[in-house]
């Protein structure tokens, strides 16, 4: 590299280092006297233990008088009163590049297989502003996700943001794996936030598989890690997706789950003294969600199509986080426990789900067929109790008779094996045939 090229980098170097010292630790909150820092700056705590001289990575999350409030990215072992606090003077940055494809990284962008960080990658900040709304091109092209019920009944466009709402154990991770394997997007960025440690490898081997891993980058932050690491996992995954979007790629961002990000932010907010508001969630939670979710979507260079899972508490679709996320996103896919209990997979309840871009993405014939199937499903569901107890007599209603005749084929159409592949064209044509003939083929 020539001297002229090095000059801008040299000018960025600050020859002065600023230090402070730890004066108090309560739970995960560290209070320090100095150094001079801003909200979001990364600070290093030097433990000074001669046997195990650790450096603890922390972030400035608030102030108390003239003291800094720090929260750690790792555990606080060996931190003691008077431990030296050094500021970096800048927010967290990660290294990103094509070399990360196929790798599993942590919230700081470090490979979790303990391999060296590949050289030649670009440094990017993980907390960026959403794109200017006036620069976002409209969504006009449907993205193939390879799940028949979604491609036909709930079409997703390049750059659309969808929520997958479900309780625990209803098949969110399995559905994400199907989308990651079957999609025609250029690259997948998958964020596993707050997952159990054993589930990360299970997701890689069982749900994603070798074919899905070849075009994916996984950001994993397990439930045992500090709250700040779980929050940064979501921001790191979004920053990686933005990097590839700016290279002109169509990116799929799959995040499981945004609820655990919100719970982590609540933990941070309560630690710094925020008052609990709706169901114990602090105001900063409802400020963080749009700042995170609005970063995805279309741009003049590429697109990020996002799928965010929302873990609904007690299957309550109107709890605060689910309600807030649903209001921000461009559609929602509801996984129904009653369908899962019947062995119906993926357990998508198409009557409770909606894609807000259906009219822009689907041809008139496609829309008409989807509306026909929705009407038949709705008619059957409304009369299901009467049918099951034998109170309905055939011939009493032409609409109910038709719905009963169609029901077995509709259920067959909406079900799909985990390893079964279905192209977008096949799914739409099957939907049209089903609406016209009552047969799925």
Residue 5 binned pLDDT confidence (cut-offs 50, 70, 90):
low
| Predicted TM-score (pTM) of this structure | 0.90
Q: Is the pLDDT of residue 9 over 70?
A: no
- CA 187 to chain centroid, in Å, comes to 15
Q: What is the pLDDT of residues 237-266, one digit of tens each?
A: 999 999 999 999 999 999 988 999 999 999
Q: What is the CATH number of the domain that holds 20?
A: 2.40.10.170
Regarding whether 71 and 53 lie in a shared domain, the answer is yes
Q: Are residues 142 and 23 in the same domain?
A: no
Region at 246 (left for phi over 0; alpha for psi -120 to 50; beta for the rest): alpha
| End residue of a domain, out of 64, 91, 118 | 91
At 406, is the pLDDT very low, low, confident or very high (cuts 50, 70, 90)? very high
Rg, C-alpha atoms of the chain:
25
Residues 117 and 69 in one domain: no
Q: Is residue 412 part of a domain?
A: yes
Q: In the listed set 65, 91, 117, which residue is the last one of a domain according to the structure? A: 91
Q: For the beta carbon of residue 406, count every other beta carbon within 10 angstroms.
A: 23
pLDDT tier for residue 3 given thresholds of 50, 70 and 90: low
What pLDDT, on a 0 to 100 scale, did the predictor assign at position 289? Answer: 94
Quick: pLDDT tens for 108-148.
988 988 777 777 788 898 988 888 899 999 998 999 999 99
* Domain carrying residue 28: 16-91
End-to-end CA distance of the chain: 62
> Tokens in use for 74?
């790792």
Given its phi and psi angles, is residue 134 left (phi above 0), alpha (psi -120 to 50 degrees) or beta?
alpha
Q: What is the pLDDT of residue 13?
A: 62
pLDDT tops 70 at residue 300: yes
Q: Average per-residue pLDDT in the chain?
A: 88
pLDDT tens digit sequence for 172-213: 888 988 998 888 889 999 999 988 878 888 888 888 888 888
Residue partners of 10: CB distance under 8 A and separation at least 6: none
CA distance 86 to 57: 10
Q: What is the per-residue burial (b if ≥16 Cβ within 10 Å, else e) of 29-41?
A: bbbbeebebeeeb
Count of domains observed in the chain: 3
Give the pLDDT of residue 305: 95
| End position of a domain, from candidates 331, 358, 385 | 358
Paired tokens of 329: 């996103």
Q: What CATH code is carried by the domain that includes residue 381?
A: 1.20.1270.330
CATH number of the domain that residue 266 is part of: 3.40.50.12240
């Amino acid at each position: 590299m020539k001297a002229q090229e090095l000059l801008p980098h040299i000018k960025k170097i600050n020859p002065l280092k600023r230090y402070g010292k730890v004066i108090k630790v309560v739970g995960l909150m560290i209070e320090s006297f100095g150094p001079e820092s801003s909200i979001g700056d990364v600070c290093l705590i030097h433990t000074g233990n001669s046997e195990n001289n650790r450096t603890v990575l922390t972030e400035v999350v608030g102030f108390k008088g003239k003291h800094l409030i720090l929260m750690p990215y790792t555990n606080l072992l060996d931190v003691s009163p008077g431990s030296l606090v050094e500021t970096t003077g800048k927010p967290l940055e990660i290294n990103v590049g094509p070399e990360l494809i196929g790798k599993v990284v942590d919230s700081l962008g470090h490979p979790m297989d303990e391999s060296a960080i590949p050289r030649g990658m670009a440094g990017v900040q993980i907390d960026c502003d959403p794109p200017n709304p006036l620069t976002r091109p409209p969504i006009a092209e449907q993205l193939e996700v390879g799940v028949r019920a979604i491609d036909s009944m709930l079409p997703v466009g390049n750059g659309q943001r969808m929520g997958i709402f479900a309780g625990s154990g209803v098949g969110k991770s399995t559905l994400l794996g199907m989308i990651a394997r079957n999609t025609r997007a250029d690259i997948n960025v998958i964020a596993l936030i707050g997952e159990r440690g054993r589930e990360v490898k299970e997701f890689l081997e069982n749900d994603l598989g070798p074919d899905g891993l070849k075009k994916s980058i996984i950001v994993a932050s397990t439930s045992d890690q500090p709250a700040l690491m779980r929050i940064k996992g979501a921001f790191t995954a979004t920053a990686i997706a933005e990097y590839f979007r700016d290279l002109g790629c169509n990116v799929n961002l799959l995040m499981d789950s945004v609820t655990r990000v919100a719970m982590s932010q609540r933990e941070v907010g309560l630690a710094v003294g925020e008052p609990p508001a709706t169901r114990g969630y602090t105001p900063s939670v409802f400020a963080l969600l749009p700042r995170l979710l609005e970063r995805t979507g279309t741009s003049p260079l590429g697109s990020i199509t996002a799928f965010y899972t929302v873990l609904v508490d007690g299957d309550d679709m109107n709890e605060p986080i689910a309600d807030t996320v649903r209001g921000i996103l461009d559609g929602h896919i509801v996984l129904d426990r009653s369908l899962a209990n019947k062995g119906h997979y993926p357990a998508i309840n198409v009557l409770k789900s909606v894609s807000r871009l259906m009219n822009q993405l689907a041809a008139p014939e496609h829309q008409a067929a989807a509306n026909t199937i929705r009407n038949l499903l709705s008619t059957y569901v409304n009369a299901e109790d009467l049918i099951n107890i034998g109170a309905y007599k055939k011939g009493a209603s032409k609409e109910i008779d038709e719905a009963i005749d169609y029901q077995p084929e509709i259920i067959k159409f909406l079900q799909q094996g985990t390893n079964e592949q279905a192209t977008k064209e096949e799914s739409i044509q099957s939907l049209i045939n089903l609406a016209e003939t009552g047969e799925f083929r």
